[in-house]
Structure 1
Amino acid sequence: MNTPAELNTSPPAAKEAVDSAPFFIRGKVVEGRDQIHRSRDLGVAFGTPAIDLDALVHPRTELPPLLNVPLAEIIDFLVETGQRLGDGKNPYIEACIERMAKVSLQPRLAIQYQFKDALGYLDKKVLTEVVEQNFPNPRALDEWVPHTDHKGRRSFVRAFAPRLIHVLPGNAPAQGIRSIAQSALVKSVSLFKMASADPFSTVVFLRTMADIDPDHPVVRSMSAIYWRGGDEKVERALYRPQYFDKLVAWGGGDAINNVMKYVGPGFQLVSFDPKTSISMVGKEAFASEETMAEAARLNAGDVAMANQEACVCSRFTFIEATPEEADRYCRILAEEIRVDRMGEGQPRPLESDLKEQVDVLRMMDDDYAVFGKSDGRGVAIRSDRPVDFHPLRKTSNVVCVASLDEAMKYVNVATQTVGVYPFERMAELRDKLASGGAQRIVRLGEAGPGAVGNPHDAMYPLHRFVHWMANEDGCEG
């Protein structure tokens, strides 16, 4: 595969300060500012090296480097990487956070918090439990596991190391840590396409691994680069079954729709597509002023975390209440959303079109009530049906319903997490929520993080990543 000449012709922007976003290709850091890009959300310029497409492909004639490395050794290496990333002496982390704060919608302290939180994934107990939850018999990752069916036919099955392209999200600064760890656990050869809202962190994680052991099979199995999503010169060259088995894609609707056109026989899509999370609050919240305040506080935590950038953040709250009761609740909810629990400092203001829509609702007294200010610190909107825009930047739409059963008509396959109050009502709601398409039900206030090893987006991801291979060897005897 040759590198198209057109890929290398983007000139640097004249007299503009441009941060470098190096690549990491199979164990080596590649520096350069041959191409200049702009971040999706804030339009900040950053420079990347020219793309060498040939270097990104691991030939199928060569076995994956991790194939015969024991899983226990891989986990130990990931744990050591976590310790290096979190020891306070890593030379790359602080510079990475500074650069990410320029291109990300999330405040600097929120990025720091997510880094720290994600490092908890690189724990031996966590990694072991993830594997055990995803694979009924984890031995299949290390060896060909024998099996004899009821007819006496003998076979051997292996969870074979896949070749994966990961399209990483731009709204979760530390997702690269999890994706690298998961790729290593399934022994994959992986290419990570970084997002323009985070073209830095994944390379930091990988070069930390390389500092530990530049020749480790985990290091030699991983590459991370950036290109503009939808660039057919790159994607038509790489998104092919002769090079990769599966495309693991995170992102918004446009990103998922873009990669769908490359999916076909031999090249599968594992999609973590856009989701919306909701809250459900029962009439029990109004038993007293204390219970109402408790429900609103828990609700606010699910709305405001990560500046409401992640899919797991609540955007709509369905509440068994009259408009008058809901207004009392919304007043407290808006105040709680506006509490700066993470020391994020000055928030980013609402975009003009969203601010305009919220402010228009303030004037529609009969059908809507708006609590809080349209300044990015927190707003609660009471209505009798969901608003027709996507709540962002700490905006919660509180929808009055006669019963939580009535809210089921708003649940669909794009509904990810549902937080419920009071907690004991989860059991009565979970079958209905699952039937509607929802994927996760939790206590209100516990939308994130999730339980270790549980399904994500209605699947066990690692089980989907691997290439399941069977060697049938006839009947015994």
Structure 2
Amino acid sequence: MTGTTLDSTAAAPVAVVHVIRGQVDEGPHIAHGRPGAAFTAPALDLDRLVWPRTEPGPAFQTPTAEIVDLLVATGDALKADRDGLLAEALERMTAVSPLPAEVLERAYAVLWRSFRRPALYAQIDHELGGADVLDGWREVRLPEGRVAATRAYPPRLVHIIAGNAPGVAAMSVVRGALTKGVNLLKLPSNDLFTATAILRTMACVAPGHPVVRSFSAAYWRGGDEAVESVLFRPQFFDKLVAWGGEGTIRGALRYVGPGFELVSFDPKTSISLIGREAFASPGSLAEAAEAGAADATFFNQQACVASRFQFVEGAPEDADRYAALLCERLGVAREFSSERGPRVASELREEIDVLRSLAPDYRVWGGYDGTGLVIRSPEPVDFHPDGKIVNVVPVAALSDAVAHAGVATQTVGVYPDARKAGLRDALACAGVQRVVSLGGAGGMPPGLSHDGFYPLQRLMRWVNDE
């Protein structure tokens, strides 16, 4: 496999680590990237990235309780970071990530939360009905007195993970470990360091453990047919677990066929619905605006759960009051957002400048410096708000906003809470996967469905003894 030839006068490229079956790959590096965003990574040995089907994976028979103990210990080690592996990954990420250093620092500081014991058992219990079906065969009684048994058998998984938030890597490692399967993680170009830092930390906790040996993580250019046409085959893997944009998912679909299934975390967007109750008092309006801003700025609007379109029940004048307060709150730093995001791109500035000239049908608050911008329009704008830009749309009733939700709508935040019950069935019918209280879009509680399905249940290979 060849990489990119780099200008010898450019800054030294960042070295990316690969982990192969639990061990750091010490092989020779090749160049990737482009001038100004260059990195090197070990050359791929495709034979080492697969596990033969003629033998079980290292952790296939490891008790679930032992795996949970290892994950908890890994979380403790990530929190302490005595070996400095997370600190090293953070330093390298800061140089290349589109997210500000302060957001990355806070995200790395809480990675350990994904490894807490109650969260792990919540996934096992709620998604699989308990650990018994992981550790052996669960007896089930069928009609007419028949008895059968079923087991969630360890899968062979290749993961194309997303790099828009470091938590995706942690989530993927946890799910892969709980399945007891073998896992190959493709490192995304916008997060080349988090997954390997987690796996190296796990290896420090328990060198040579079966779960440690069940993981590899490596980089190749997405869509590289020389790599993917070899790896993405049923003789090596059962399922392709793909996160990402439309191009990533469509690229993955080329390889799906009998014996090789796609588990897709599709590209999604999220919206908010603000009821007229927000205008009952200055306090309630401020509360709604703060909650709406929190949802809109999660990971500086880089995450799928971040709200981009917010529908306000009321007249345009009401929406303007909300929009003005919302704009003020967009520039506030939070746990997973910074005061300032990326500056608005020049082509988008030109489009927004046109909207400014169309008052009173359109109104715009804020500037182009990345601290937040709000557009109030009679219908949703036809571009994708990004980088702390929110489109506020007045509606006569919140039920009218349901028409703007669809299968690509992941999360809908609703204010006040009491309005959720009257909207959730219609939103579900439209294709929405998640309804939350406004301000609660960030993060997903373990054990609940994700993008419309239970991940652990979907990742397993279900086998019957009838």
Per-residue CA deviation, residues 331-371 of structure 1 (Å, 9 max, x unaligned), is 11000011123483653212222233223221221321010
Q: TM-score when scaled to structure 1? A: 0.94
Instruction: Quote the residue 1:57 is aligned against.
Output: 50
Counterpart of 2:266 in structure 1 is 273
Counterpart mapping for 1:89-104 below 5 A? 89-104=82-97
For residues 51-85 of structure 1, the C-alpha deviation after alignment (integer angstroms, 9 at most, x for no partner) is 00000110001111111111000000001011111
Aligned to 1:323: 316
Following TM superposition, the consecutive aligned residue runs of length 4 or more in structure 1 with deviations greater than 6 angstroms are none
TM-score normalised by structure 2 residue count: 0.96
Distance 2:397 2:281 in 1: 19
Out of 112, 117, 134, the position equivalent to 1:119 is 112
Name the CA distance, whole Å, in 2 between partners of 1:259 and 1:366. Answer: 46
Q: How large is the RMSD of aligned CA atoms in angstroms?
A: 1.6
Question: Which residue of the partner structure matches residue 132 of structure 2?
Answer: 139
Residue identity matched to 1:62: E
The DSSP-based 3-state class of the residue aligned with 1:470 is strand
| Number of residue equivalences | 464
2:16 alignment partner, one of 12, 21, 24: 21
Evaluate the alpha carbon distance shift between residue 234 and residue 46 of structure 1 in structure 2; reply closer, same or farther with a 3 A threshold: same
Structure 1 unaligned residues grouped into runs of 5+: 1-6, 473-477
- Partners of 1:179 and 1:140 in 2: CA distance: 21
Distance in structure 1 (CA, Å) of the matches to 2:146 and 2:340: 66
The counterpart of 1:354, out of the listed 330, 348, 373, is 348
* Partners of 2:116 and 2:459 in 1: CA distance: 21
Deviation at 1:116, TM superposition (A): 2.5
Indicate yes or no: 2:243 matched with 1:250: yes
The answer to whether structure 1 residue 36 and structure 2 residue 31 are counterparts is yes
2:401 partner letter = A
Tell me which residue corresponds to 2:38. Answer: 45
Cα distance in 1, alignment partners of residues 396 and 353 from structure 2: 27
Q: 1:47 to 1:470 in 2, by over 3 A?
A: same
Distance across 2 between alignment mates of 1:292 and 1:345 = 22
1:222-250 deviation line (CA, Å, top 9, x unaligned): 00001110100000000001100000000
Alignment of 1:86-235 (within 5 A): 86-235=79-228
Show the counterpart of 2:450.
456
Determine which of 359, 365, 369 is the counterpart of 1:365.
Answer: 359
Contact kept, 8 Å, 2:395 with 2:401, in 1: the verdict is yes
Question: Which of 50, 64, 67 is the equivalent residue of 1:74?
Answer: 67
- Unpaired runs of 5+ in structure 2? none
SS in 1 for 2:157: strand
Within 1, Cα distance between the matches of 2:146 and 2:185? 40
What CA deviation, in whole Å up to 9, does each residue of 1:107-158 have, x standing for no partner?
A: 1111121222331110111101111110124311000222342234333211
> Would you say the 8 A contact 2:126–2:448 is kept in 1?
yes
- Among residues 404, 407, 414, which one is paired with 2:401 in the alignment? 407
The match for 2:423 is 429
Structure 1 residue aligned with 2:464, among 447, 470, 475? 470
Q: Is the Cα contact below 8 Å between 1:107 and 1:345 reproduced in 2?
A: no
Give the SS at the match of 2:211: helix
* Identical-residue share of aligned pairs (%): 47
Tell me if the contact between 1:82 and 1:123 (Cα under 8 Å) persists in the aligned partners.
yes
Q: Which amino acid aligns with 2:451?
A: D
Which letter maps to 2:358? M
* TM-aligned CA distance change 1:434 to 1:202, over 3 Å: same
